Structure 1
Amino acid sequence: MILFLIGLVLFLGFHSLRIFAPAHREQMVSRFGEQGFKIIYSVLSVLTLVLLIFGYAHAPVINVWFPPAGMNHLTITLMLFASICLFASLIPAGHIAVKTKHPLVLSVKIWAFAHLFSNGDLVSILLFVGFLAWGVVMRISLKRRERAGLPVLRPFVAGRYDLYALLLGIVFWAAMIFKLHELLIGVAPLPM
C-alpha cells in the first residue's frame, strides 16, 4: 500500500506542478530547452505511472463496500462520455472541445467518478478519489489562469473534429469494454 501511495502522490504531484509551482516549467525550459524539458517530463511521467501501477497491483485488497449489481453498467455508460472527451482533447478543437473548455481534465474527472461506482476496495477508492480531486483542482486552476488572461483554451478549428472525436471515442470505448480493459487491467467490464 505504501508503494501505491508514493506512486499516486508522485504522479499527481508531478502533474500538478503548474498549479503549485507555475514558474517551474519556464525554469526547466530555460535550463534544458523545450525539447529537453519534454523528454525529462515524459520520462518522469512514465516512471511515476509505472510506480503507481506496480503499487496498485501489489496493494492488499481491503473491501470498504460492495457495489450493488448493475453499477458496472453505469460506469460503462459514463465511460462513453469520458472516451469522447479524451479524443476531443487529442485532435484539433471542434465544438466539443470548445464547449467543455478542457476536455482532457473533464475526461479524467468522468473516468474517476464513474469508476467509484463499481469499485469498493480501498486502493481503488484512493486511486479514483485522488484523480477526481486532481481534476477538480486542475479545473479551478485553469479557470483562474483564464481570468488572469493567460492562454489555456484551444481555438475552434472545425466542426468535423466533433465527428472524429465521437467516432474515435465510440471505437475506443467499445474496444475497452469488449477486450482491452480485460487485457490491460485484468478485469472484464461486462463479465460473461
Structure 2
Amino acid sequence: MAALVLGLVLFLGVHSTRIVAEGWRTSRMESFGEKEYKLLYSLISLGGFALVVWGYGLARQDPVVLWNPPPVWMRHVVSLAMLPSFVLLVAAYVPRNEIKAKLRHPMILGVKVWALAHLVVNNTLADVVLFGSFLLWAVLDFWSVRRRERTLATRITGERSRTVIAVGVGVAAWAVFAFWAHRVLIGVSPLGV
C-alpha cells in the first residue's frame, strides 16, 4: 500500500500545484524555464503513475476487503457509465468540439465519472484509496479551474464535425477497453465476456 500512496502523492501532487500553489508554480516556471519545468513535471508524473500502477497491483494481491462485493449486474451499470467518461476524455483532446466548448474541462469531469463509478463496484481498501483520491482531486481541481476562469471573459465555440469525431473516437475507445483491454491490462472483465 505504501507504493500506491507514494505514487498518488507524486502523481496527484504535481497535478495539484495550480490548486494549492499557483504562485509557487508560476515562480518555478520562471526560474527553471517553461520547457524545463514541464519536463520535470512530466518525469515526476510518470514516476508517480508507475508507482500507482505497481502499488495497486501489489495491494490487489493481498486485498483488505471493506464491505461485501456489489451484485454482478452493477459491473454492467458501471461499464455503461464509463461510456461518457471515455467521450469526455477524448473531447478534452479534440480541438474545437462542442463538448469542450460547453463543459470547458471535460477531462476533469471524465475523471470524476471514472473514479465514482469504480468506487461503486470495488470494495477493497486499495480501491477506496485509489479511486477516492482521484475523485477528491478531480472535485478540487474543477473547483480551482472554475475559480481561475471567473476572471476570464473568453468564449469558446465548437464545431459539430469535431464533436462527432470526439464522440466516435470515445465510443470506439470505450468498446475496446470494455470488451478487451480492461481484461488484458487490469485482469478483470467489466462485462463478464
TM range (shorter): over 0.9
**Residues 178 and 159 (structure 1), Cα distance of their counterparts in 2 relative to 1, 3 Å cut:** same
Q: Do the aligned partners of 1:95 and 1:159 also contact (CA within 8 Å) in 2?
A: yes
When normalised by structure 1's length, the TM-score is: 0.92
Equivalents in 2 of 1:154, 1:77: separation in Å? Answer: 32
Letter in structure 2 aligned against 1:172: A
Letter in structure 2 aligned against 1:177: A
Q: C-alpha root-mean-square deviation of aligned residues, in Å?
A: 1.6
Could you say which residue in structure 2 is the equivalent of 1:165?
A: 166
Equivalents in 1 of 2:157, 2:35: separation in Å? Answer: 27
Structure 1 stretch 83-92 or stretch 137-146: which is displaced more? 137-146
Q: Deviations over 1:4-63 (max 9, x none)?
A: 122222221221011111023322222232222221111111001111111111123011
Equivalents in 2 of 1:165, 1:61: separation in Å? Answer: 37
Could you say which residue in structure 2 is the equivalent of 1:39?
A: 39
Q: Do the aligned partners of 1:4 and 1:53 also contact (CA within 8 Å) in 2?
A: yes
Q: How does 1:141-160 map to 2 (within 5 A)?
A: 141-147=144-150, 149-150=151-152, 155-160=156-161
Per-residue deviation, 1:150 = 4.5
Indicate the SS of the match to 2:92.
Answer: helix
Letter in structure 2 aligned against 1:178: F
- Structure 2 residue runs without a partner (length 5+): none
- Structure 1 residue runs without a partner (length 5+): none
Per-residue deviation, 1:158 = 1.9
Identity value in percent: 39
Per-residue deviation, 1:136 = 0.6
Q: Deviations over 1:88-120 (max 9, x none)?
A: 001103211122221010010000011112111
Equivalents in 1 of 2:10, 2:43: separation in Å? Answer: 13
Alignment size in residue pairs: 190
When normalised by structure 2's length, the TM-score is: 0.92
Could you say which residue in structure 2 is the equivalent of 1:131?
A: 134
Q: Do the aligned partners of 1:93 and 1:154 also contact (CA within 8 Å) in 2?
A: no
Q: How does 1:39-188 map to 2 (within 5 A)?
A: 39-59=39-59, 60-65=62-67, 66-147=69-150, 149-150=151-152, 155-188=156-189
